[in-house]
Amino acid sequence: MFLTFLVQLKINNLVYKQGGLEIHKSLKDLSLVIFIKMGPQLPIGSFLAGGIGVELIYSFIIIVCGLMIYFSTKEMDKLTSYEGIKYFRLSFLFFALAYFFRYFIQFFLFSFNLKGILEFSPMFFGAISLLIFLYFSSMALFFLLYSVVWKKWDHSRLTITLFNLFSLIIAFASIFIGGRLIYLIINLILLLIVLSILVIAHKNSKKKPKTGSPFIIYLLLSIFWILNITDVLIPKFLSIYQLFVYLVSIALFMIILYKVLKKTGN
Amino acid sequence: MEKRVKRGKLEIMRDIIFIIREHKNLIKPTPLLRKSNLSSTRFQEYFSELKDKGFVRETEEKKNKFVSLTDKGFKFLERYQTIIGFIDEFEL
C-alpha cells in the first residue's frame, strides 16, 4: 500500500545544508513542509489537516478581497489615470499577490502533484516565497500610503524607486540577516515609517474630518498588516493572538471592499 | 471678495467635456478654448490629453475644424460624480 506523509518541521537553531546550499539561521522559524513520498498522491484533506487550513482560508479571503478591489476600480483608473486611484488599486493587488505567494503556491504544488520542486530544495523554495511575500507586503503598504500623500510628494518616479529599494532591503534583510530581534526591529521601523507618514498626511489634510474617515481604517490596516508580517516571520510571537489578527485583518479588508463596491456602484 | 479655488485636473477635463456636450457635441477649438477659461498653453495640454485618452476627436468639415465627444468622453461625464465621490471617500 502506498502511503504519503506530510511532515511539518519547525527548525530551531540549526543550520541546514542541502544540495550545497547553506540555509541560514534566519530560516529557523519558517514552517517547512517536507514530503516523504511513498505513494503517488496526497489528498487535499491531509493538507488542510496539517494546520494550514485556517491560514489557507484566511489567505483566500484576503486574495479575493484584494483582487475585487483591484478589478472594481479598473474602469475609474482607465478613465481618469488619476495617480491616487492607480496607487490605491496597486496596493490591493500587491496585498493579494503577497498572500498568493505566502500560501497558495505551496498549496498548488501540493495539490497538483508538483512535489518534485519541493523535494529538490524545500528550504530554498520556502525562502524564495518568503522573500516575495515580504517584498509585495512592503510595497502594498507603501503604495497605500502613497495613494494618500502623492499630491504632496513631487518626485513620483524617485519615490517609487525608493519604495522598491526599501521593500527589497526589508525582504533581503529578513531572509539573510535573520534573528527574532532583527525581524522585530525591521517591523518596528516599517510601522514607524507608515504611522508617521499617515499621521502627517492626516494633520496636513485640508479636508474637514468626517464620519467614517478612511484614515482610521488605513491606520488599523497598516498596524494589522505589520502584525501579519511579524506572524509569518516569528510564528510563536503572536501565536495566541493569531486568530484575532486574522479576524481583524479580514474585517478591515471587508470594510474597504464594501466601501469600494458601494462607491464604484459595482 | 470670494477666493476662487484652483480647479483640479479632473475638474478641468470635466469642464472641457461638459462644454463640448452643451454645444450639441460639435464645437470649434477657438470657442472651446475661450469657454474653458484656460491659457492657450494649458488648454493645449489638456486637449492633447483628452485626445490621447480617446475622450474627444477632431473632425474637419469644409476646411473648418470641429471637436466632438467620443463614447468614452460621454462615459467619463456620466461617471464623473462617482469618481469624485470615490476619491473623496478614500482621501486619494
pLDDT digits (tens, 9 = 90+) for A64-101: 999 999 999 999 999 998 999 999 999 999 999 998 88
Q: Where in chain B are the domains? A: 9-89
**A31 falls in which pLDDT band (50, 70, 90)?**
very low
d(CA A221, CA A233): 18
Whether the predicted pLDDT of A128 surpasses 70: yes
Q: Is B83 in Cβ contact with A80 (below 8 Å)?
A: yes
Joined grid coordinates for residue A221: 490596516
Q: Is A81 in Cβ contact with B86 (below 8 Å)?
A: no
d(CA A138, CA A69): 18
How close, in Å, is residue A51 to chain B by CA atoms? 37
Top-ranked range on mean pLDDT: pick from A64-68, A116-120, A156-160, A230-234: A64-68
Identify the CA nearest to A83 among candidates A136, A134, A168, A155: A155
> What values do phi and psi take at A41, rounded to 5?
-145, 140
Q: What is the ipTM of this complex?
A: 0.81
d(CA A219, CA B89): 15
CATH T-level topology, domain B9-89: Arc Repressor Mutant, subunit A (1.10.10)
Higher-pLDDT residue of A169 and A199 is A169
Percent of chain A residues topping a pLDDT of 90:
24
Q: Are A134 and A234 in contact (CB under 8 A)?
A: no
**A4 falls in which pLDDT band (50, 70, 90)?**
very low
pLDDT tens, residue by residue, B9-51 = 899 999 999 999 999 999 999 999 999 999 999 999 999 999 9
Within 13 A of B51's CA, how many CA atoms are on the CB side? 12
How close, in Å, is residue A204 to chain B by CA atoms? 12
Q: Per the confidence metrics, is the pTM higher than 0.80?
A: no
